[in-house]
Every structure is written in structure tokens, then in C-alpha cells.
Structure 1
């Protein structure tokens, strides 16, 4: 098996994504995760462009990477300077990295019209820069920018740029589809032809402007590329880069061209979500391989088939990439899905149990009125337990009141909540002021309960989403409130549905706390 080298450019090319800014600490954490996952080369940034990247390379020297090597990125020297006098070239040497990547023009249009220099001058810039850097690095990688577009316009010149880099010591020639306009068939044929003219290892760097970056990368490997560049989750400028999260399992599992240990493969979902967290982005549910819905089976016929044979509707075993098979509850849910879902909650239920039909009917009736439990597993578990007589009642709501007040001249709206609950034969009254009505309700509710159940103080609400479910009723539409909660050990989602957003919020809050009590106390006789 030819060894394929994985090169991640999340910290440089990925950081150019519109709306994403990585702090220095973010970059260090991401690099450590990439190392843990087994990425060979991590492009740390462009030290010649900003101080933050220079600080990253300095900090990276003190990090004991177990597998990955950090790579500095720069460009060929300016046309009016020699490499010795170009500060951005000098900054590469100052990083102290073992490897360096240099980008140079390979499309004659860019040389003539963008750089506005003779074609021969561009070749000498490539040669001089690589020759100058080679004594300072064990490897120089050459990124041939716009190579495929350049090849289609002027094949001879595009090949000349590669030869110039190779003759001066570049060990990897990375062919870049910088505009992202190529299709897999073009990538394959151009690489096949290019390999006839150079001897150095071929790499691939694809952008996703035609939604083919992953396909182009796989086609490149089939055509002989042994160095693969991409980013986590495909982030990058414009439409993004080739997504390593999809490329790695395709090469390792499907094509069997990449030797990637199973324990590293299982980190894909975790690393994908980690980078999204650092980028302050919501993970894409439909992302192939690792998305929350990548192996979700909603239709009754589908779930029944998957229960019999997982390959009926799954292209790989989801656990290979750290994902899970899920059966979202919906009006399409079948008996098999419901039984499978109950088993996840530790509830023994058989398909022939008459209660299965009752629960399905209840779900469909609720969803007809706007309720959806596809994400709110906490609320759905409570619903099932209530219907099956497995729910322990810890409290009863006697009533609540919320008020909001903003006087003339105030910059803040004041929210107060009063909650009355009954626990056993005792009624507890509690009031609180909060940052909005939902926060006030949450504080008052837990304040009342903690006298009886101290564990509720462990619960934190970490996300709160409101969505209008009907788009035609204006302010009278049904809304769904979705709450994410954690106690530091487990994370759960609960939901409330109502035409009144406060009522929907209250229902989601009650389920959140009720879920905690069921988890901690229901099986202890408390």
C-alpha cells in the first residue's frame, strides 16, 4: 500500500472562512486534536502575514506533538526582491519548523495579468525561493496555485513551474484547484498527464466551489496523488476546502488506500465537533459520516429494515467514525424504531406490546399539534415513562406568575417570576429576578425545589432555542422551545410546545429538571 500523507490546513486556509476567527489558544487546541487524531502535517499559518501566526509557531515549539509535524506556509519572494531580502521569506526560517510549504503561481494568466511580470521571472522566483529555503528545512513542499486552470490554458508553462520547483529540491508538488471549478474526470486526466513530466510526489489541494472537492481529492489519489490537503469540516474561504472528515474514512474504509488506525478513525466525530466549537459554529446535522442525522432513520419502513440488516440503509457502520445510529421519534416512526428507542432508555418493550400502538398514536397526535421530539430525547424519554407507568412524580406545579417591566428611561427590562410547587404535603413558594422571563422562571423553580432535592443545583442550561413551527399565524403561531441542559456528567435536550412562548419555555424547563430527578433519584426510592 502506497503511503498517503495527510496535510491539514484548517489553521491557515480554514481560518480564512467568512465569520471564523481562531484565537491563539484555539489554534493550539486544534493542533493538539489533529495530532491526537493522527494527521501527518499541520499547516500552522502564514507567519509573514500576521503576528498571531508567528506567536503560534513560537508556542508550538513547546508542545510535545506525538505524531504530527508543524509546517510553516509562505509564498515565493516578491518580484522586486531576492529571497534574502524578502521579510516574509525570512519569517519562515524564524519559525524553526522542520517543513515549509511555498505557494507559487502556475497559471500564466496570473503571472501576466495579476503579478504583471514575465513568465520567466515567475519561474526564477520559484527556483530562487526554494533554493534559498532548502538548507533551513528538511522538506520543502511546493503548492502550485491555480495549477488545473493553468494546465487547461497553457499546459507547457504549468508543467514548467513544477519542474522549476522540483529541480531546486521540492519533494512534494501540490496541484491546487484554487478556484474550485474542476470536476473529478478533469482532475484525474490532468494528474495522469502531469506525472509523465515530473518525478516528485504529487499532492492535491481542492476547493469546493463546484461541490466536488472531496470527489476531486479521491479522484486525485486514484490517479496517483500521495499527499492530500484539506481542512476539518471543509471550512475555508468562499465555499470551503476539501473536507478531511469525509476524505479520511473514504480512503481508509472504502478505498483501503490509507492506513488509519481504528482508534484514530473513531475520533473523527469528536474532532469535527471540537473544531466547530472552536469556530463557534453549530455542527451541520447532515454532514456525511459524522453529522447527527448521518445515520438517523426516521421512516418506519427504513427503521424496520435497519433493525433486520444495518447495511440496508447505511453505507458504513457509524461506530467506525465515532458516530451512532439513531431513530428519531416522529409521525413516521415505526414499531421497530420505538422499541429500539425504548431499549436505549433501558425500557424493555416488545413490538407486539399493545402499549406500542398507544405511544405511537400519542406521538402522532402531539406532532399534529406541532410537537416534535427528534432532538428532545429527554422529553421523549419522560413521555414514554409516563405512558408506561415508569415515571415517578417528584413535584406538582401549583402555579407560576411572570412579570416584565420597563419604565421610561430604563435601559433594561426587569423580569420577575413567582413559582408555587407542591412536594408531598408541603407547598413551597419562591420568587426570583432574572435576565428575562425564562431565566427568572428557571431561577425561581430551582430555588423552590432545591430545599427538597439539592441535586437540582447541579443543572445548568447551556442552550436555549426558540423556533416558530407555523409560518402563517404571526404572533399566534405555535412555537417550540428547545433547551440543552447539563449536570457536568450528562447532556440532555428537552422541549416545550405552545402558542405561548412562556408556557413552552416553562414546559421545557420542567422537563429538564424532571429528567435530572428521574436520572438521579427515581431508582433510589427517594
Structure 2
């Protein structure tokens, strides 16, 4: 695969291997397949799937992809060079790589003499032979090779002559891509630029000497100095044409270069072609999809794709953005599939309320007294401990109530929660039982349910009572539950704020409750979460 334009940058995604090394992240075979197919739909040219042979999961993953190949992307198998003292053709480590059946293979080799001597415990010459033999063997097996120069920048810094020899060896053996790796993540952008530019000039004579074109070059950066994205961009501006990274920056230690930031920076700000424009508009959904699959909460403050990336809170900011978005936005959020949000808080002005109403499809007149009533009610509630900045679903319900547009799908008449510790063999097991009394369409309902805690039991009882009337509630589930003590000095009488995030599988919404009784605060948040979910379903039916 060769570039057809000097402005093309090839994106190489390693979420499924390097990203999966993040502490606390575990992907099943099905998880990896789902992510790979979404990356393929986005138009990512290279997807590194893992190390076949390192574990049964990766072997099965590549086998399933052979049965149902991707449409656009090249799936890449990953492996180290053959081991010291062996031959590549007989090293059993390389056989699963060939069995994976990928056209492209990424081979990692040592660039730093320190790692060769102390890590591999072999000679510098043997390391060069390991690089040459592995790449040459794979080429005889009709594989195309990407060579990742591990610890490149550290190796070049301490022994530039030897580091350069490793690259020349890989090139002579037939590698089509050479990737400079900042494996420890400690290099600064100006160093990246200097080293890349210097090395590319040093390698230029090889082309004239061998009468063949040099391979293309890439960059692989880690985020230990909070510079992975900046370093990747610096390398591209210095001449590389491949960026290796992960969705959401997942990776070992502090993570890898975040492709959700790399791609829009390169494409929208610097004019490089990474993926199709229509695919770029799917980037935010992809980011959140991968976080859901990885079972990690999305970073709301992530650049470009975060929920708060284009959120405006201060009244003056909102007023300015309403007139001209570029006053406080560095690009149009819809270009990467995100959207502008007007945040409601005690710092809000009338502009926030009006803008928020418009975003909800409510046309409010600035002169309408209801606007100021809503604003006053908002600030009164926030002074009591409510926080609508993170609970926009509750704010919408508040606003619709003020406008007479809130129709209650059910009425809670009361609830009780019991907590018991009962014998279970030699131990005591905690059980919670909630009983709810409510009315739906004039019909009184009394229902009870158990849960692994009082809030869980209350939620279960409400669902049990309501599902017969509103079957769609079965698709709702709690995704997050946060409790904050607002006045800790009050001890057990302290006022508590509860934030509950709910989802129906495609949308997320957050509701809030405040009380000196944690169960009452939770009750308010749970009830509003169910009510808001039903309102979303009703809106969807109208639109369809």
C-alpha cells in the first residue's frame, strides 16, 4: 500500500492490542470483533488486531476475521523479532503469525543498545541479525512488513550510530514502513521533530545507493508526558506519513496517542487527508461506542469528542456563541459528530435558559416572565444543593413543568425500604426490600422487589410496577450512581446530592435528587430518570 498523495496520512489503529494493555481494560473476542468492524466502517486503513499465538483469544479473533473479512481495512498481526540464537524459519513464535493469514505484519525490534544488552541479553550484531532474518523470512512468505523501531528516540539519543543501523537493516530486509516509537513517552515535540528530520536526511543516500525507493515512515507515541498527540503531529509535520494510536488514547500506563484528537487536528486544522469527511462526522459516536464496549466511562472532558467539549456555561459566553459560534469554539462540533451544549447552573443568565430551551425544541420569548421564573427557580434550587450542570434531564423536566408541558406518566404515593442481615450458613447476608405505592392512569399499584442495596431494590420495585404499563422501561438501565455529601460537618444529618445516569442503549441522561435522607435523594433521581426515559420514547414515536 503506497500513498497516492503527499498530504495523505495513514491511520494505524492499535486499540485492540496496545490499547487493551490499559490497566482495568479487558476485551472479549466479540468485543474486539465489534470494535474492528466499526473502525473498518470509519475507514481506518490499518487495524492491529493483536499477537496471534500470544494467547488463545487472539488466535480465535484472527480466525474469525478470516471467515468474515473486513471490507476496507488491512488487519495487521503483531509480533516481536525472532528470538536470539534461533532462525526465523524455525522459530515457533512466528508460525501463528503466518497462520493468522494477514497480508500485513508488524514486527517490533530493539533500537536501544541498552535493551539489546540488558533486556535481550544478546549482542548488538545478533539483534541486527534478528531484525534482518525476521523481516526477510516474512517477505519470503508473501507478507508485507511494518517495522516498529521500539524505544527509537531513547536509542537514538544514547547511541545514534547503532540505532541507525537497526533501521538500515530493516530497510534492506524489505520493510515497507518504518515506525519511530517513543515507547517510554518521554520525548518532547521539538526533539521528535529534530530527530525525525535528521534521520530522514541520513537515510536519503540509501535510495540512490540501492536504486530503490525508501520505505515510508510512521510514528508511535505514548502519553507519559501528556504529549502523545503533540508528538504525533510534530512527526507528521517533519515527514512521517503514518500515525499509530488508539481510540480514546487507551493504552498502558498513561496511554497512547488519542486518534480522536490526532485525526481532527491533522485533517481539519492542518489539511492532511486521514479519513473521508463523512466518516469524520462519525468520530464522536465511535469514541463513545468503544468506551461502552470497553466498559469504561466516557471522558466527558475529552477534546473534540467529549460531552463537554463544546459546552458553554457562563452567560456571556452563551450570548456570544448564540451570535457567532467561533467566539468560543475552535471548530464546528458537527464536523466530528459532536454538538454544542448550553450548560445550566447557578452561573447561568437568561441567555443560557433561552438557548437551552431552543436546543430542546422549546421556543421561549425573552420577554416572557416564565423565563425569569425558571432562572430564579434554578438558582434557588442550586443554592439548596441541586446541580443541573450535570443533570440536564432534570432541568428539562423542571423547565417543562414551569411551562405546563410536563405530563406525569405515573404518581408516586409512597415507598418503604427495608434492610436486613439474615443468616446464610456461617455468614450474614444483607438483603434489601422495597415496597412502592403508585398510581398509573387512575389505577393504584402496590409492588415490592428485592435488590442488592436499598436503591437497587427501590429501582427494581418501580420497574416491576410500571413495566406492565410501559414495556419500554425494560430497555432502561442505570449506568452510573454518584453520591456527594454537601455539608460534611453536619455528620449523618448532612445534605446529600445523588446523580443517576440512565441509558436506553442509544441515549444517556442524568437526573438529580437532593435531601438530608440519601434514600429520598436517590428516590427523586430514580423516578425522574424513569420519567425522562419515557418522555424520550414518546418523542421518538412522534418523530417516527
What do the CA deviations read for 1:83-111 (whole angstroms, capped 9, x no partner)? 12211122221211101111111111212
Q: Which moved more, 1:220-229 or 1:396-405?
A: 396-405
CA distance in 1, matches of 2:225, 2:381: 42
* Residue aligned with 1:463, SS: strand
Superposed displacement of residue 463, structure 1: 2.5
Cα gap change, 1:385 to 1:117, in 2 (>3 Å): same
What do the CA deviations read for 1:328-385 (whole angstroms, capped 9, x no partner)? 2111112112111112222211223222222112111111111011232221111111
Residues 459 and 485, structure 1, Cα contact 8 Å, conserved in 2: no
Residues 321 and 328, structure 2, Cα contact 8 Å, conserved in 1: yes
Superposed displacement of residue 440, structure 1: 3.2
Name the counterpart of 1:267: 282
Name the counterpart of 2:483: 467
Residues 141 and 170, structure 1, Cα contact 8 Å, conserved in 2: yes
Name the counterpart of 1:111: 116
After TM superposition, the structure 1 = structure 2 runs for residues 442-481 of structure 1, keeping only pairs within 5 Å, are 442-448=459-465, 453-455=469-471, 457-458=473-474, 460-470=476-486, 472-473=488-489, 474-481=491-498
Name the counterpart of 1:53: 58
> Aligned match of 2:395 in 377, 380, 383?
380
* Residue aligned with 1:133, SS: helix
Name the counterpart of 2:166: 161
Task: Say if 2:170 is the partner of 1:186.
Answer: no
Name the counterpart of 2:210: none
Name the counterpart of 2:416: 401
What do the CA deviations read for 1:109-141 (whole angstroms, capped 9, x no partner)? 212222232222211111111111102234211
Superposed displacement of residue 284, structure 1: 0.7
Residues 468 and 477, structure 1, Cα contact 8 Å, conserved in 2: no
Cα gap change, 1:21 to 1:521, in 2 (>3 Å): closer
Name the counterpart of 2:208: none
CA distance in 1, matches of 2:142, 2:492: 64
Name the counterpart of 1:349: 364
* Residue aligned with 1:505, SS: helix
* Residue aligned with 2:413, SS: strand
Residues 48 and 74, structure 1, Cα contact 8 Å, conserved in 2: no
Task: Say if 2:220 is the partner of 1:205.
Answer: yes
Q: Which moved more, 1:98-107 or 1:514-523?
A: 514-523
Cα gap change, 1:190 to 1:263, in 2 (>3 Å): same
Q: Which moved more, 1:411-420 or 1:322-331?
A: 411-420
Name the counterpart of 1:412: 429
* Residue aligned with 1:402, SS: strand
Q: Which moved more, 1:164-173 or 1:368-377?
A: 368-377
Name the counterpart of 2:500: 483
Task: Say if 2:311 is the partner of 1:296.
Answer: yes
> Aligned match of 1:335 in 339, 344, 350?
350
CA distance in 1, matches of 2:154, 2:464: 65
TM-score by structure 2 length? 0.90
Residues 97 and 137, structure 1, Cα contact 8 Å, conserved in 2: no
Residues 44 and 275, structure 2, Cα contact 8 Å, conserved in 1: no
CA distance in 2, matches of 1:246, 1:407: 52
* Residue aligned with 2:67, SS: coil
CA distance in 2, matches of 1:158, 1:332: 56
* Residue aligned with 1:407, SS: strand
Superposed displacement of residue 63, structure 1: 2.0
* Residue aligned with 1:164, SS: helix
Q: Which moved more, 1:425-434 or 1:226-235?
A: 425-434
Runs of 4+ in 1 over 6 A off after TM superposition: 520-524
Task: Say if 2:28 is the partner of 1:13.
Answer: no
CA distance in 2, matches of 1:244, 1:517: 36
Cα gap change, 1:445 to 1:236, in 2 (>3 Å): closer
Residues 140 and 169, structure 1, Cα contact 8 Å, conserved in 2: yes
Task: Say if 2:329 is the partner of 1:314.
Answer: yes
What do the CA deviations read for 1:130-181 (whole angstroms, capped 9, x no partner)? 1111022342111111111111111111111111110111111111111111
* Residue aligned with 1:103, SS: strand
Superposed displacement of residue 201, structure 1: 1.1
CA distance in 1, matches of 2:434, 2:118: 67
What do the CA deviations read for 1:261-300 (whole angstroms, capped 9, x no partner)? 1221011111111221222111111111001111111111
Superposed displacement of residue 43, structure 1: 0.9
Superposed displacement of residue 424, structure 1: 7.0
Residues 47 and 74, structure 2, Cα contact 8 Å, conserved in 1: yes
Cα gap change, 1:339 to 1:295, in 2 (>3 Å): same
Task: Say if 2:135 is the partner of 1:130.
Answer: yes
Gaps of 5+ in 2: 204-213
CA distance in 1, matches of 2:525, 2:535: 15
Residues 480 and 502, structure 2, Cα contact 8 Å, conserved in 1: no
Instruction: Say how many residue pairs are matched.
Output: 523
Name the counterpart of 2:206: none
What do the CA deviations read for 1:243-268 (whole angstroms, capped 9, x no partner)? 11110111111101124212210111
TM-score by structure 1 length? 0.93
Gaps of 5+ in 1: none
* Residue aligned with 1:77, SS: coil
CA distance in 1, matches of 2:447, 2:292: 36
Superposed displacement of residue 493, structure 1: 2.6
CA distance in 1, matches of 2:18, 2:443: 61
Name the counterpart of 1:510: 527
